[in-house]
Amino acid sequence: MAGGMGACSGEVPDALCSEGGKMTDQFGAGWKDRLLGVLQKLHSPANPADMSQRVSLCREALSLLPSDVDPGFWAALHAELGNSLMQDPSGDRAEHLEQAIRCHKAALRVWHREIAPHEWAMVQNNLGIAYRGRIVGEQATNTETAISCYQDALRVWTQDATPREWAMAQHNLGTGYWERSLGARAGNIEKAISYYRNALRVWTWETFPEEWVMAKNSLGNAYWDRRQGDFVENVEEAVRCREAVLRAWGQDTPA
């Protein structure tokens, strides 16, 4: 599960306006209007069908933005571009993920944990998702990298301060361990169950119903695959999770 950056406010940053002469020399007299038009389009709500257009808009904005004028904004656009590439259903999926990884790493060159902790954590989380889905390279290595990225995000996100983001990273980490091919399978599943349960401490049906359904379904899958404990009890717990999800889909409460 990816997190959005909310990077583009629809306005040209003050740092760019203060460099008006330099920007005009480099990009021409209409640079501000062109950039403003792009940012306003990026500021509008997005859905999967819009991702190809958002990729183009991010690239256009970056073509009008020197990295040294407003590094934070430059990083935000790279993060936005990375997220859009990850969600773009058109084109070459493998190449999109490679480009997304490069974009997130570019953002991390600016957003350090010490100066922009929340942004750093969000990019780490999204970089983990990109590595989890990566087609190029060894799957086991990509999964290990994804797990490391989620763990890095949790160095910043806490249940008390950022509960929704914390739960998102917990769920992603659970999925990383559930899919992990290295290490003991039984131990990986136990970790996955623990992380999914952590996510469900925040993602309740009342507060985050869509996320609750996702985590509850993931937990059911993990119990179905569980090696430790009593086989019958594991199956019964898996069934309870799935029945709760089915009830939730059919009515206003899973109870």
In tens digits, the chain (255 residues) has pLDDT values of: 665 544 455 454 554 444 444 444 455 445 556 666 667 667 666 677 788 988 988 898 888 777 677 788 889 899 999 999 999 998 899 999 999 999 999 999 999 999 999 999 999 999 999 999 999 999 999 999 999 999 999 999 999 999 999 999 999 999 999 999 999 999 999 999 999 999 999 999 999 999 999 999 999 999 999 999 999 999 999 999 999 999 887 765 565
Give first-to-last CA distance, the chain, whole Å. Answer: 25
| Superfamily (CATH H level) for 1-156 | Tetratricopeptide repeat domain (1.25.40.10)
CATH fold match for the domains 1-156 and 158-255: yes
Residue 106's alpha-carbon distances to 72, 82, 114, 210, 233, in angstroms, are: 11, 10, 17, 31, 47
Q: For residue 225, with 0-12 CB atoms within 10 Å meaning exposed, 13-18 middle and 19 or more buried, which class applies?
A: middle
In 3D space, the residue among 70, 76, 66, 75 whose CA is nearest the CA of residue 27 turns out to be 66
Q: Give dist(CA 125, CA 119) in Å, integer.
A: 10
Contact call for residues 74 and 81 (beta carbons, < 8 A): no
How many residues make up the chain in this entry? Answer: 255
What is the residue extent of each domain of the chain? 1-156, 158-255
Q: Which CATH number fits domain 158-255: 1.25.40, 1.20.1420, 3.10.20, 1.10.340?
A: 1.25.40
In the chain, the amino acid numbered 97 is L
Q: Give dist(CA 65, CA 12) in Å, integer.
A: 11
